[in-house]
Structure 1
Amino acid sequence: MTDDLISFLRARFDEDEQVVRVDPGFSQEWHTERARADPHDESRACVRSSQGDVITGDVDVERARHIAHYDPARMLRDVQARQHTLVRCQEEMLSGIPRLVHFAKRTLWEMAQPYADHDDYQEEWKL
């Protein structure tokens, strides 16, 4: 069961990384700017990359903040952190120390939850 879960997570993390890297500007950070249509309207904004590319046109400021928050650079760091956590869990399971093994398995199950809608997700991984 654990080997299947590790393989499943590794595949999902690889997919997530591919989605982020598909854009040649994947390392870019995004930020919000006031909308150009009416720079005095604080309820509207746009999102631009660190290279100056327009990511969104004029949208409501909360939506712009949400989009900018999940820029490609941040998402890549997130995927890499999850990949490192997966490796750490594998190491802890190999330790044979019951408490660490339990913690590692629980962490793997928790990391699988965002993928519960994936076809390969197994019901036994549900918390």
Structure 2
Amino acid sequence: MTIYRMDHVGVVVEDLAAAIAFFVELGLELEGEAAVEGEWVDQLLGLDDVRADIAVVRTPDGHSRVELSTFHTPVATRNAPRAPMNTPGIPRLTFVVDAVDDVLDRLRAHGAELVGEVAQYGNIYRYCYVRGPDGIIIGLVEELR
């Protein structure tokens, strides 16, 4: 058995337009948007009467994608927790950026909140985590070498 590649990461958000704007500000490119519904989606997700809108954003190099989904039906029964960083199973997406401080300032205008502080590891990189749309944890890494 062979894995060819990781195709994408999926994240459910409440406000699709705001999530798209956040990731575009981060530097990803909107690849496309679609409405999904029907028996195949119900089978795939193990839910009934799914109606959702999705958008796919990709990194500029074209190698990584994030699928953003918002569900109209069925109604979610609970929200994801805003758990601390050491919670088992908590997802985070990390991106290499040109300048952490600049990207952080731009993302704050889209509601991003710094989780800890911007930290520097030797002369190798500067790194921080922010909470983006719906509490998604995003890592920002600036390579110093």
Q: Do both share a fold (TM > 0.5)?
A: no
Comparing both structures, which one devotes a greater share of its residues to helix? 1
- Answer with 1 or 2: which has the greater Rg: 1
Query: TM-score scaled by structure 1?
Result: 0.25
TM-score normalised according to structure 2 size: 0.23
Which one has the bigger strand percentage? 2
